[in-house]
Each structure stands twice: as C-alpha cells, then as structure tokens.
Chains A and B, each alone.
Chain A
Amino acid sequence: MKLLTTNFVQCAVKSCNGSEKSYPLKYEDCQLQLEEQEFKPAFIIAMLQRINWQALVKVAADLGNNNLPAEKPADVENNEALLKELHTLLIETQITEGKMVCENCGHIYYIKDSIPDFLLPPHLAN
C-alpha cells in the first residue's frame, strides 16, 4: 500500500462515515519499504492539490516521519527538491505489513504483503 493511498481510505463501517476520528486511520506496527519509481513532478503537483494535508501529516507521524510542515506547502511548482521528497514519501514508500485502526469504532484492519484488507466481519456489515 502506497503512502499516497492512506489519504484516500477511511473506516469502512457505515456509521463511522463522516466521523473525524475515522479518517485518517491510525497506522500501527507498520513495516515500510522503499520502491523506486519514476519521478513525475506534474503528477505530484496534481495530487498535492487534492491531498488532505492534515491527514498526511498525521499518517506520516504514525510511521515515524515528523518532518512535514504543518501547513500544505505553497508554490511547489519550482521546488524540485520538495517535489522529489514528496514523490519518495507518497509514491515510493510502501506499507508492506501493519495495522490500521479506526479511532471512532476501534476496528482494526490489517495490511499483509502490501495489501490492505477492508472486509468487515458480519456484525459490522450492515
């Protein structure tokens, strides 16, 4: 699971939808792996526009990265160093194993072999 994707997922339980605590999920006991990928600045800029920055900062901190600025950086177009850093963080960083916890309902989702599993047990499915 790429770190970018953590910005697009939340708890699958219907009653958690809309709760501030169900997004982003809390990432625990994660193993990370870097996978080299082609650097596409235009793509990073486009993703940055839609990324929920606060959620990204929180997930990065869960994973041990406390270097992100508190506010979404502006004028990134000409800042190649920053774009490359974001590329490494968002696209090249894979979560290979770990847990994702919903802080609203407490449900734990697992990531195994880089694949997050969001299927719910019957009592949580509607």
Chain B
Amino acid sequence: MEKDEKIAWRFMDFYDTKRTSFYVSVKCLYLSVRQVVIMSGNLQPTKAQILKNLEAFKNVDTPEKKEEIYVHEVYNKISAHFSQTRYKPWPFVQQFLSELPDNLLGVDVGCGNGKYLSVNKKLYIVGSDYSTGLIQQARMLHKDEESNDILIADGLQLPHPDGIFDFALSIAVIHHFSTKERRENAIKEILRVLRFHGKALIYCWALEQEHSRRGYHDGMDQDVLVPWVLMKKQKKKKKNNISSIDKNKSEASDKKDCNTQNTESGDNVKPDTKMRYYHLYKKGELNEDCAEAGGK
C-alpha cells in the first residue's frame, strides 16, 4: 500500500503572469494508483469496455452534459467510498499551506471532502465543490472546525467578489472540465477571486506517465475515462436462488455502458463501475492555460 500511495510530480515552478501579478504554481501529477489496489483485478473493466465508454462519452453532445454524466453524477455516487480513501493530504499541498503566514483567507475550489481545510488551522479557508455528495462528506468531517467553511458551487461561477482571497487551491480539479476553453475559464475564475499578488496552487493529472500502472503516455488521446469500482451490497431477495449465479456476476456488466447500467437483483455484493472523465495535461500545457487565463 505504502509505495502505491506515493505520488510523483514532474515539474514545479512559480509562474508569474506579469500583467496581473498572480503567482500561479502549476504542477502535474501522476495518477495515484491507490484506487486500483483496493479493487480486485477481475472486477476492473476491460480495455474494450473502457473504449466503449469513451465512445459513448464522445457522443454526448455538450461539454456540460459530459461533465454531468462523467464527473458530477459519478462523484455524487462514489462520494462516501471516495471520501474514505481521501483523508491523507498530499505532502506538497500540506507544505504550501503550512508555509503561509497566519490568518490568511483562502479558497479551495473543488475541495472534495475537505481534506485540505484543516491542515493549517491558522488560516480561514472557504472550500467549495460542485458535488453535493462530497460537500456532505466535508460537512461531516469538518463540522466543528473554526478555521473553514464549505459551500456548493460551480468552479466556473464562483460566488465570490473579485480579489478577496490571499490564496487559492485547486487540487486535481481542472482536469475534469471537458474543453480547453472551460479549463481556461476555470483558471480565470480562480484568478478573478484572488487578490493582487495572491498565490494559487493548481494541480492536474499528467499525460506522460509511462511507468505508472495505468501507462498513460505521450501521443495518446488526452481525454480519458478512469474507472472507479464500487462494491455494492444488495439486499437478499427471498424468491431468488442466489447460490449458482453469483460467480459470474463480474461478467454480467461487460457488455454495458458502465455509467448508465442498472444493477441487477440477486447478488449480495456486485461491482458497480463508474467512469470519471479526465483531461491528461501534456508537459507545459497547464502553464500555457494559466498564461492564457491570467494574461488577458
């Protein structure tokens, strides 16, 4: 487990957009393979299944709908399980927060279950997320804390006045927007609410990660679907004979589009695969998007 939890990053630089003087530190991450470890191998969707899902994804006609089905709905469904696996702050984000002066005001755009909200209790952080499910998890975990608050909001329409925050976090969020324009607008929106000389820390997944288990690499399609397997416990139904059909349960979902499949009755535990959309950032691309967002 320990070595799988280690996340490497490829580059790190503070980026001064000159005209606006926002300092944006952008970093690309290799995908964490921790979520793979907690799933048993034969429950993972096959390559063919993922391709089929990707085809369905590409046929959805608007970026908003794509994100609705392949990001928002997924996070709402997996929120409880996802939250159980997202309690440990990444060291570099922890370091960023720990080194900030006391009593600063920050915003965490796409805060998920809020694992960065209480890393440094001398700050006040307003965390927001599109996913109601994840925000409910955040509320549960951070209910009694004085150093933060949470709200449900769209990263493209943040409910904050211009220039009020000393710093902003956006950790593993921007890659969920499904067009370049929307990703740039999401960065613009973060810069809008940041004060002059404010600092933003933005992380997205990297494309070039040949040596990771998922094997994403330069030259491949940057728009990918990443599976999340939930083990769903189901109620026993008295009328069904459940003894003999259980063993083939993992194959039952093979032919289906995962995010729209219905669960079948009869099993005690069955895998339920959800596909999340990611845009994998190429080397230098996040820097370009930040320049585009901050330079105008």
Chain A contact residues, CB within 8 Å of chain B = 1-2, 4-5, 8-14, 17-18, 23, 35, 37-38, 40, 42-43, 46-47, 50, 91, 109, 113-120, 122, 125-126
- Contact between chains at A113 and B153 (CB < 8 Å): no
A14 (CB) vs chain B CBs: closest residue: B157
Instruction: Please report the C-alpha to C-alpha distance between residue A118 and residue B128 in the assembled complex, in whole angstroms.
Output: 10
By secondary structure, the A interface counts as: loop
Q: Mark B141-164, 1 if CB is under 8 A from A, else 0.
A: 000101001111110111111101
Which residue of B132, B151, B154, B159 has the most chain A CB atoms within 10 A of its CB atom?
B159
CB of B130 within 8 A of chain A? Answer: yes
Chain A residues near B165 (CB, 8 Å)?
A: 8
Quick one: closest A residue to B153, CB to CB?
A: A118
Q: How far is the CA of A47 from the CA of B135 in the complex (A)?
A: 25
Q: Known contacts A1-B149, A5-B126, A42-B102: does B144 contact A118 (CB below 8 Å)?
A: no
User: How far apart are the CA atoms of A107 and B149 in the complex, in Å?
Assistant: 22
Instruction: List residues of B (85-125) whose CB comes within 8 Å of A's CBs.
Output: 102-103, 105, 122, 124
The 7 tightest CB contacts between A and B, nearest first, are: A46-B103, A37-B146, A12-B159, A118-B159, A118-B153, A5-B149, A117-B152
B139: Cβ under 8 A from any A Cβ: yes
- Given A4-B124, A50-B164, A115-B154 contact (CB < 8 Å): no
Contact of B124 among A43, A118, A120 (CB under 8 A): A43
Interface flag for B136 (CB, 8 Å): yes
